[in-house]
Amino acid sequence: MEQRSTIGWGAFAAFLACIPLANWMIGHVGTVCIPNGPCLVPVAPGLMAPSGVLTVGAALVLRDVVQRCLGLRAGLAAIAIGTALSALIAPGALVLASGVAFALSELADCAVYTPLQQRRLLLAVVASSLVGLAVDSVVFLYLAFGSLDFLAGQIVGKFWAVAIAVPLVRLLRRVAPTPA
Domain-embedded: residue 23: yes
- Amino acid 168: pLDDT: 82
pTM of the shown model: 0.84
Domain-embedded: residue 117: yes
Domain limits for position 9? 2-175
The closest of 107, 75, 81 to 179, measured between CA atoms, is 75
- The distance in angstroms from the start CA to the end CA of the chain is 12
Domain-embedded: residue 88: yes
73-129 tens-digit pLDDT? 999 999 999 888 888 887 777 788 888 998 999 999 999 999 998 888 889 999 999
Taking only Cα atoms into account, the Rg of the chain, rounded to an integer number of angstroms, comes to: 16
Domain-embedded: residue 180: no
State yes or no: pLDDT of 42 exceeds 90: yes
Averaged pLDDT score across all residues of the chain: 88
When divided into structural domains, the chain yields a total of 1
Taking phi first (over 0 means left), then psi (-120 to 50 degrees means alpha), and beta for anything else, what does residue 146 get? left
Res. 180 pLDDT band, cuts 50 70 90? very low
